[in-house]
Amino acid sequence: MDVLERIDEQVKGNPVVIYMKGTPQFPQCGFSMRAAKALQECEVPFAYVNVLQDPEIFENLPRYADWPTFPQIYVAGELIGGCDITLELHANGELRGMMERAARAAP
């Protein structure tokens, strides 16, 4: 399977997914740590992909949605952004609702 097809399958197959450096339990960069923490505080399950363990995804994810940096957070198949946007959505209370709606709509 082509790497972009693999990414597409992950994005569309999970209500919420974060592509990050490290894992939510052991993040490998500050931006990934803060974004994962915001997702965890919403108390809605989410998937993650450690881009440091998959060089193909690390190299090609920026092409998938034309977003050059990590982390990248997808909700209901759509890129919502990176760390700053995720933190802003969390601070104003929108992130939890977005995640809850995506989780309810998932098959």
Annotated binding site for [2Fe-2S] cluster: 29
Which residues, in sequence order, are bridge partners of residue 81? 73
Sequence-ordered list of residues with C-beta below 8 angstroms from that of 17, at least 6 positions apart, any chain: 10, 11, 46, 47, 48, 49, 73, 74
